[in-house]
Structure 1
Amino acid sequence: MAVLPFIFLGVLGTAVFVVYPMIRNIIISFQDYSIMPNAENPFVGFENYISAFTDPNNKVLMAIRNTILNVIVTVPINWLLAIVFAVLINLHFVKYKLVFRTVYYLPIITSWIVVAFLFRFLFAGGEYGLINFIFYKVLGIFPEPVNFLSNYWTAMIVIWLFHIWKTVGWGVVIYLAGLQGISKEYYEAAQIDGASGIKQFWSITVPMLAPVTAFVIINLVNGAFNFFPQVYFITRGGPMDQTQTLPSLMYMQAFKNFNFGYASAVAVMMGITVFLVTYTQMKKFGNQKML
């Protein structure tokens, strides 16, 4: 009985800040919604959902494509860098492990805006963006300055690099914690059998970290679906809305175009997709036991 007040507060907070907004968003997706006082907000059925896929500019389809690309590109790279960096830091002859952990985690706690301005400076067009200055002015590799943020693929590469650099440290810290649970006896036995370091990595480290990998991958996939600051602070969806993702498109439609019904419909479809992807991953990895 003593815990009931605390449970009640948790349930109340979830109802107010999660359940109610979610239900309200679903209702708005079926309305021609306006934020003006005393607006009628008539129900329009599935009109918002239909218009999302019949838009002549294909904004939703481009956002879906970009969101899927984000998952396909960033999740494997993020995972591989995280586990490799964690294993390297965890080697017995490496000193100052706390320093390395701090260095890798610093981007996580750094403001998105600060990092975005850094990347906008690095990849600025013309001769005086740092990348252009080095590869065009100094090394002469580029025949002319590259306007990274004005081309679809180069802009997407900048966004992906931004995301990976900003988030890879989280995976490193999680894997470092997981590595502490692997007994050194496995590696000692493998060394006696003549297994190389790479063989030990794939035959011992990766399988033993499978439950941790499941947790990391689920969170990386969810993070890749929620590309908003990566797009908003770097390209604002440009050029010509080609780099929009579902979260950034929702924001632009709701708070720039005031098309709340349309944005809510996109949000509902994205929410269902993320739920199905997460549920599938949890079912796949759910039978694995933690170390």
Structure 2
Amino acid sequence: MTATHRYALAPWLFLAPALALIAIFSFYPIAHAVFMSFHRWRILAPPDFIALANYEALMHSRPFWLALRNTLVFAFVSVPAGLILALGTALLLNRPLRARGFFRTVIYFPVTVSMVVIALIWSWMFSENYGVVNGVLQTLGLGPRSWLAEPVSAFAVIIVMSVWKGFGYGTVIYLAGLQTIPDSLYEAARIDGASRWRMFRHITLPLLNPTTLFVLVTAFIGSFQVFDQVYVMTEGGPGHSTSVLVHLVYELAYVKFRMGLACAAACILFVITLLFTFLQIGLIRPQTGERR
């Protein structure tokens, strides 16, 4: 083997362990899920090939369509809300404020806490019998409410909690993006008489487009994977009103033991996530000035 070949082979040798882990824990499970989605498999019995029967069953399943609707509603409500909140908070924290580091830490702290812990705390807060929220309402002379037992309010609580927990991550990313914008651009705009709104619209937003793309894509991928808060706070109820696709996959696989149907639902979720990710990249990339 020549020296040129050794130099060309060396990087692949260093990458081999990581590539092997990715293949074992990512590519193989995906391929196996696709394969099993065409089979009827109840764990104890051997799988039977049934072609597209699992997908046809999902197309005629009301819980599937409810879970898909809830997943899309969660994504298209929580992601824009979290994005706007993160950008607004980052703009405030980017200014010369007292205790700015303290506020940054406080805002980012929920991101570091387990979703299960946060969901349990919020469940206690909105408990009908001993929750803090109902306690405040009773103090104001209003009656208690079953927040997590009503479809609309339960889903609203899950969305608000998810936005509150996750917007600190976007805030930190936006802060990093804001600090890369040269101050000279704002100084030149002030000399030309530009208002704060015009500077924000024509300087800040365009230069933050790559940051927005990153935050938007990661947030949408995360929103399609929502599970912990639904499982802990409502278990998909009442009446599948808060069930999402990942929770449906869990229920089909580990409650009803219909592995083939669960794999089919997981494959549909995977395709939807890919489509939305590529769509966002295609829409935002031209605005970032990136070239393929």
TM over 0.5: yes
Q: Which runs of 5+ in 1 are unaligned?
A: none
Which one of the candidate residues 106, 117, 120 is aligned to 1:117? 120
More helix, by proportion: 2
Q: Return the letter of the residue paired with 1:96.
A: A
State the secondary structure of the residue aligned to 2:48: coil
Which one of the candidate residues 15, 18, 21 is aligned to 2:26? 18
Task: State the Cα RMSD in Å.
Answer: 1.5
> What is the correspondence of 1:77-226 to structure 2 with a 5 Å cutoff?
77-91=81-95, 93-126=96-129, 128-135=130-137, 137-140=138-141, 142=142, 144-226=143-225
Is 1:9 the counterpart of 2:43 in the alignment?
Answer: no
**Percent identical:** 35
Q: Return the letter of the residue paired with 2:41.
A: Y
CA shift, 1:289, in A, is: 4.4
Matched residues in 2 for 1:202 and 1:95: separation?
Answer: 27
CA shift, 1:285, in A, is: 2.9
Matched residues in 1 for 2:251 and 2:285: separation?
Answer: 37
Q: Return the letter of the residue paired with 1:245.
A: V
Match of 2:59 in 1: 53
CA shift, 1:112, in A, is: 1.2
CA shift, 1:234, in A, is: 1.1
TM-score by length of 2: 0.92
CA shift, 1:190, in A, is: 2.5
Q: Return the letter of the residue paired with 2:75.
A: V
Q: Return the letter of the residue paired with 1:172.
A: T
Q: 1:139 to 1:197 in 2, by over 3 A?
A: farther
CA shift, 1:23, in A, is: 0.8
Matched residues in 2 for 1:31 and 1:249: separation?
Answer: 18
Matched residues in 1 for 2:283 and 2:202: separation?
Answer: 21
State the secondary structure of the residue aligned to 2:168: helix
Structure 1 segments (4+ residues) deviating >6 Å:
none
TM-score by length of 1: 0.92
Task: Please say which of residues 5-14 and 60-69 is displaced more in the overlay.
Answer: 5-14
State the secondary structure of the residue aligned to 2:40: coil
Aligned length: 281
Matched residues in 2 for 1:65 and 1:180: separation?
Answer: 38
Q: CA-to-partner distance for each residue in 1:16-46, whole Å, 9 max, x for gaps?
A: 111111110011111111322xx32111111
CA shift, 1:188, in A, is: 1.7
State the secondary structure of the residue aligned to 1:124: coil
